[in-house]
């Protein structure tokens, strides 16, 4: 392919003609685009942005500040004007010297602007620097707003940052040198491929724009991910119960069950053999059961937290006890399933049920007094929008939750993938973690609102009590031996909030482990990787800050330390158990059938 005339950076005539031919292919794709948008499904608009009241309150507060302290506001504006005019003057001076080069750029590095042209080319350099000046001015203006309560201030910061990130010059073809260079190099084919990717994503999601992060054709459940051998030994309307094959001749008498979050699917704990927590646990000599939740649709609209407890937790515990012939089991709850495990433990205490011997919590919030980065999504206008949405649909669609989580890291999880896919025309990578991330689950209407209103907004479990199944459940009633693992940079379940919940539990035997990294990588951290370390401190009477300051840091995975804790609570060793029994014949091979159901759009 001839891309340029010899000895010149100017595209050849042939090159330009081929590019025109490629661009003509856009017409067919445009027709597909029009068609998919004409049949687009809708969602409640309140889920797209905050109510106008937030911005009105911010504007009122900013105006009040300007009247009370005009010098401060004028100082900010003059500083912004000065930076802008100076920036323009420097660019003009560089051009006046007769050299087509950008002025020196000593500013901080930003990986969005990695292309050398952002620093060397006057056009791109001017755009970049002015964008950064504008971004700083907006942040400073938001920071200066004082007459707002703390939650409103957090929301204002969040949404203003979203606006700034959305308007980055990298997000537009005409101001993205990587995309423009790729278009010239490929004679426009990258733009055609990018539009194909865009239309395909819209068609896959009924007109909703959900950026595809991974090559979905690269993975098969039970084929190259979720491959640990096991059998489905029980199934009801809420879940499949998987018992995994033993990998040791002897196992501990007390079995272990994992309750994964039903917002996502359980195989995050069984992606590849080398990082599979499921495989590792069985290799340590445990009889392991894992719950695989149903992916609900509109028929599950009236399913509530009580159904997840009765037909999920209690059903699993009952069947495990029957299969293994024991009276007590150890349990793990991950994220929302950990929150619910705490509810279950309170309910068991009130009922006098001692079926759970010990409990482990993975990144589980039980005290929602502080809402951290989720503050923007737990205000009434957003929750009201969700309530209207689920009343109409019968369930909360998975993509709405996925989009909410993604915008907490919008540059990494929205804009950068969109640039690569839609502007550069690249095929998404074959990355197992991102495949799992895109394979979400819906939430039933009733359950979603119980969780958002009662637990998240009103924090009833940690305060006056959460009404469920005729009981008022309280965090202080969680009194079994417990181990909580939280993640240092978790933006979904902040570790200090997890710690505060553990402090309020009534158990005398409490262990808290703080691992490095985030919500997923901090948990899926096998010893073989020798990657993220963890903190240990037995004194849980301290504040979170003092606890970490006084903690001992240990290199490597937390898994062995937790397993040593679990081993002490798992009884004697017995002959390994094969999955099921005469009353529980295998219904399917792991990973089961429920896990393959895709979320409704």
| Spans of all domains in the chain | 47-183, 230-377+442-595
Between CA 496 and CA 548 the distance in angstroms is 10
pLDDT attached to residue 392: 92
Which residue among the candidates 335, 456, 483, 498 is catalytic per the annotation?
A: 335
Contacts of 16 (CB under 8 A, 6+ apart): none
Q: Pairing between strand 588-589 and 230-235?
A: antiparallel
DSSP state of 461: T
Between CA 170 and CA 417 the distance in angstroms is 12
Contact 482, 332 (CB under 8 A): no
Between CA 226 and CA 244 the distance in angstroms is 12
Residue 99, burial from CB neighbour count under 10 angstroms (0-12, 13-18, 19+): exposed
Between CA 187 and CA 207 the distance in angstroms is 29
DSSP state of 490: -
How many beta carbons lie within 10 A of that of residue 31, not counting itself? 11
Q: Where are the alpha helices (DSSP H) in 102-261?
A: 117-120, 122-144, 150-166, 177-185, 189-204
CATH superfamily of the domain spanning 230-377+442-595 = Alpha/Beta hydrolase fold, catalytic domain (3.40.50.1820)
pLDDT tens digits, 492-522: 899 999 999 999 999 999 999 999 999 999 9
Q: Which of 175, 158, 254, 72 is nearest to 419 (CA)?
A: 175
Between CA 298 and CA 397 the distance in angstroms is 10
Contact 409, 434 (CB under 8 A): no
The string of DSSP codes covering 210-234 is ----S-GGG--BTTTBS---EEEEE
Between CA 91 and CA 100 the distance in angstroms is 10
Q: Helix-strand-coil percent breakdown of the chain, rounded to 5?
A: 50, 15, 35
DSSP state of 373: G
Q: What element of type H or E holds 486?
A: strand 482-487
> Is 335 an active-site residue?
yes
pTM of the model: 0.85
pLDDT attached to residue 138: 84
pLDDT attached to residue 59: 55
Q: Is the dihedral of CA 547, 550, 551, 554 positive or negative?
A: positive
Show the CA angle centred on residue 199, arms to residues 35 and 45, nearest 5°. 75
pLDDT attached to residue 413: 82
The ranges of the chain with pLDDT < 50 are 1-7, 54, 62-63, 67
Three-state DSSP class for residue 48: coil
């Amino acid at each position: 392919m001839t891309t340029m005339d010899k000895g010149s950076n100017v595209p050849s005539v042939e090159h330009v003609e081929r590019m025109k031919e490629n661009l003509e292919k856009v017409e067919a794709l445009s027709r597909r685009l029009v068609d998919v948008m004409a049949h687009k499904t809708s969602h409640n608009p309140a889920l797209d942005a905050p109510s106008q009241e937030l911005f009105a309150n911010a504007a009122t507060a900013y105006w009040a500040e300007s009247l009370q302290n005009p010098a401060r506001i004028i100082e900010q504006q003059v500083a912004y004007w000065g930076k802008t005019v100076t920036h323009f003057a420097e660019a003009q001076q560089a051009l006046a010297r007769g050299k087509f080069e950008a002025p020196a750029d000593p500013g901080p590095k930003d990986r969005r602007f990695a292309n050398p042209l952002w620093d060397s080319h006057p056009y791109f350099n001017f755009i970049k620097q002015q964008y950064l000046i504008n971004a700083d001015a907006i942040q400073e203006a938001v920071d200066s707003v004082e007459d707002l309560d703390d939650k409103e201030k957090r929301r204002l910061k969040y949404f203003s940052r979203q606006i700034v990130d959305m308007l980055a010059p990298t997000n537009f073809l005409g101001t993205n040198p990587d995309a423009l260079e790729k278009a010239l190099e490929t004679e426009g084919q990258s733009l055609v491929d990018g539009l194909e990717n865009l239309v395909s994503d819209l068609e896959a999601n009924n007109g909703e724009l959900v950026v595809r992060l991974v090559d979905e054709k690269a993975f098969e459940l039970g084929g190259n991910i979720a491959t640990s051998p096991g059998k489905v030994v029980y199934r009801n309307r809420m879940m499949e119960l998987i018992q995994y094959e033993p990998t040791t001749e002897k196992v501990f008498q007390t079995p272990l069950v994992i309750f994964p979050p039903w917002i996502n699917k359980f195989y995050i704990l069984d992606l590849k053999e080398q990082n599979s927590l499921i495989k590792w646990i069985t290799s340590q000599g445990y009889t392991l059961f894992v719950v695989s939740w149903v992916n609900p649709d509109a028929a599950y609209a009236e399913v509530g937290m009580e159904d997840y407890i009765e037909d999920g937790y209690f059903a699993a515990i009952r069947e495990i006890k029957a299969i293994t012939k024991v009276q007590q089991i150890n349990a793990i709850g991950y994220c929302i399933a950990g929150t619910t495990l705490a509810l279950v433990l309170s309910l068991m205490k009130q009922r006098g049920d001692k079926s759970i011997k010990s409990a482990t919590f993975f990144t589980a919030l039980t005290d929602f007094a502080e809402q951290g980065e989720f503050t923007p999504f737990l205000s009434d206008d957003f929750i009201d929008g969700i309530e209207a949405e689920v009343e109409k649909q019968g369930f909360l669609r998975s993509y709405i939750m996925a989009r909410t989580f993604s915008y907490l890291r919008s540059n990494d999880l929205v804009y950068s993938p969109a640039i690569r896919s839609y502007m550069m025309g690249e095929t998404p990578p074959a990355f197992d973690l991102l495949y799992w991330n895109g394979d979400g689950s819906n939430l039933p209407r009733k359950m979603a609102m119980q969780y958002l209103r009662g637990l998240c907004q009103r924090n009833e479990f940690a305060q006056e009590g959460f009404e469920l199944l005729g009981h008022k459940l309280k965090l202080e009633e969680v009194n079994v031996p417990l181990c909580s693992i939280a993640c240092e940079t978790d933006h979904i379940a902040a570790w200090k909030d997890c710690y505060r919940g553990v402090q309020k539990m009534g158990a005398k035997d409490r262990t808290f482990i703080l691992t490095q990294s985030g919500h997923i990588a901090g948990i899926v951290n096998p010893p073989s990787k020798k990657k993220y370390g963890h903190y240990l401190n037995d004194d849980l009477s301290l504040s979170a800050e003092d606890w970490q300051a006084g903690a001992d840091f240990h290199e490597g995975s937390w898994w062995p330390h937790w397993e040593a804790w679990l081993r002490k609570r798992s009884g004697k060793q017995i002959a390994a158990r094969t999955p099921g029994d005469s009353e529980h014949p295998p219904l399917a091979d792991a990973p089961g059938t429920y896990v393959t159901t895709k979320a409704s759009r």
